[in-house]
Amino acid sequence: MNTAIETARAIAAAHKNTPGGLLPALHGIQDALGHVPADAVPAIAGEFNLSRAEVHGVITYYHHFRATPAARHVIHICRAEACQAMGADVLVAHARQRLGCELHGHSKDGEFTLEPAYCLGLCASSPAMLLGDELHARVTPQTFDALVAQARSAA
């Protein structure tokens, strides 16, 4: 038995009677598994009495849901206007070069996933980024390097 699929099925079952419960279920699955595995889609669809296409459509519509696991650390760098005005483009270019990957990619050492964000709500303290669940304001290439080094050395 595939435990990931069973976990997904159990979470979906817990939400199937919630009005509009598919999104809360998908959040629950991603929180538990780190992603929403493609092979769990039939089980989720079964619980909600939806077609696989409908569930697949919802998962792929929203940027938040991932079909594949992320690395140990996920970095979100805000690319929106207020951050652009304070050097977000330079920061993103620096991050890509330092991590050796494109946006939505994994760093060469497999430790980091680099994602764009479109507003973290820190527009008066830009550029902003999220490392794991920790917010950082006024990020420079230097502070980026320090934060990455700190995360890398963390157990």
Binding residues vs another protein (CB under 8 A): 19-24, 26-27, 48, 54, 57-58, 61-65, 78, 80-86, 117-126, 128, 130, 133, 135-138
Alpha-carbon distance of 71 to 107, in angstroms, equals: 8
Note the Cα 62 to chain centre separation in Å: 11
The CB-of-2 to another protein minimum distance in angstroms stands at 24
Alpha-carbon distance of 4 to 22, in angstroms, equals: 17
The CB-of-103 to another protein minimum distance in angstroms stands at 11
CB 31 within 8 A of CB 15: no
Nearer to another protein, 3 or 19 (CB): 19
The CB-of-71 to another protein minimum distance in angstroms stands at 18
DSSP of 40-51 = GHHHHHHHHT--
Nearer to another protein, 110 or 150 (CB): 150
Alpha-carbon distance of 123 to 149, in angstroms, equals: 25
Nearer to another protein, 138 or 152 (CB): 138
